[in-house]
Chain A
Amino acid sequence: MTTETAGPFGASDSGPTSTGSRTTMILGVVTLVALGVLVLFGLILSPADENQGDAVRIMYVHVPSATLSYVGCFLTAIGSAVFLWRKSRWWDLVAYASAEVAALFTAFTLVTGMLWGRPTWGVFWVWDARLTSEAMLMLLLLGYLAVRGIAADYGVRAKRAAIVGLLLVPNVFIVRQSVQWWRTLHQTPTLSLSGAEIQGLMLFSLFTGFIAITLSFIWMVIHRFRVAWLEEQVDAEGLDTAIAERRAEGVVS
């Protein structure tokens, strides 16, 4: 047994005891309000675009979630780095939680992008540099989550996942660079997602989108982290109880 599994929750590692708290409840309410404002401005108050029509409304959630999928990726790399450096379970689970939420946001970005592309470009998918690198990001994150899912000791799994998580950022950079060259060397320049200059109510809707989606991201990462933390704790407790029971059996017979 490794040192990490022997003393699962040392004094330096204290964590949440439930999935909710007063602060995050307020955060959740604020997030819901922000989403409500986004719906109001994005779907009702802001005008349709001259070229894209009503499809432009998808952008108010699509662009922020694309940005946050990369933020989640960075957070995973940071969590992995601190875990490797300080051996802190807390940071390991931060990396895990943000990777999972990042994967969700990446999937959401891809789906909304396709829904936008169909009426605007006439097809669900084009081999555009941004689309392709977002899809590659999804695959890289799925690889990371696959490592998180392996059946092995906590120490083994966490260490291997941390190495993969740490490499996410250089991988994302190199993939983006290569895909950009790939699409621009032989093809006409890529289609711009944001299109023409946006202003007025549309800009404000996009701004609201950034706030609402960022708040949702934060709320989800915090709660995913708490669930992961409590799961670990239940596992450790289960092991302790099992050992105690076996001991008790030995005394009786």
Chain B
Amino acid sequence: MLHDAWLIARKDLKLEIRSRVALNQVVPFALLVLVLFAFALDPDRGLLEKATPGLYWIAVLFSGLLAMQRSFAVEAADGVTDALRLSGLAPAGIYLGKTLSVAVQLLVLEVLLGVGVAVLYGTSMTGWLLLLATIVVATAAISTAGTLFGVVAAGLRVRETLLPLLLLPVLAPVLIGATRAFEAALSGTPSEGWPWVGLMSVFAAVYVVAGIFGFGPLMEES
């Protein structure tokens, strides 16, 4: 299963590196969101710096949605889904592989967005340990849930509109948790942030289990 996961993740990441869609479209979109927030909120009143945690995670969610949609769009063409099914790879392995490749893309996005808010919003980064833990756990939560709901919406005519409707309410706890944990870290009270990291870990664990067991039935016919 883990070997299958590794194969799928490597294939997807190779696709992303070669096609450069993530680099040429998703990353600029993420930065664009940061600039749009500056237009929407007056940058001179310090609002941006105060709202950095929330804006940062909204930007991650929206640009992450694009990455997740792509993760299944690349399988939709030329009957690749059937080929995947015929390949004999374990469905759980395919799920974990897809999750891993989405997580790696999200991590790259998050690092770039982190640099973006530090430079553009003038946010000073403190509480590194909590910041890093939040990023790792939130990425796991977003990618595990995103991949599972991604396959629920995959192959449908309405997939572009269905995925955000399904996924964003489900990810609301992650948005709340990651934002509060970032706030705690940036305001120098990291002890308030750790329970949120715990909650997001539970979330990620629920979705890993759901994905491992649910991916098989979902792959069978689509």
Q: Taking beta carbons and an 8 Å cutoff, which residues of A are in contact with B? A: 2, 84, 136, 139-140, 142-143, 146-147, 150-153, 155-156, 159-160, 163-164, 166-167, 170-171, 174-175, 177-179, 181-182, 185
Contact = CB atoms under 8 A, between A and B. Distances in A.
B183 to A, nearest CB: 9
A142 B161 CA distance: 13
B192 A178 contact: no
Contacts of B148: 163, 167
Contacts, number: 80
Interface string B179-212: 0100000000000100110010011001000100
Chain B at the A interface: SS class: helix
B36 interface: no
Nearest to A4: B221
A139 B218 CA distance: 23
Nearest to B173: A178
A84 B217 contact: yes
A156 B221 CA distance: 6
B146 to A, nearest CB: 13
Contacts of B221: 2, 153, 155-156, 159
Contact of B156 (A143, A152, A155, A174): A152
Contacts of A156: 221-222
Given A159-B217, A167-B210, A179-B176, A143 B202 contact: no
A160 to B, nearest CB: 5
B202 A178 contact: no
Contact of B196 (A140, A166, A181): A181
A182 B214 contact: no
Contacts of B157: 151
Given A178-B177, A182-B176, A182-B180, A140 B170 contact: yes
Given A2-B221, A159-B221, A163-B214, A174 B199 contact: yes
A163 B202 contact: no
The 9 closest A-B pairs by CB, nearest first: A178-B173, A139-B169, A143-B166, A163-B214, A160-B152, A178-B176, A174-B173, A182-B176, A170-B206
Given A160-B218, A174-B203, A181-B195, 11 more contacts: A139-B169, A146-B158, A150-B158, A151-B156, A151-B158, A153-B221, A163-B210, A163-B217, A164-B152, A167-B148, A178-B176
A178 B175 CA distance: 10
Contacts of B170: 140, 143, 167, 171
A174 B169 CA distance: 11
B162 interface: yes
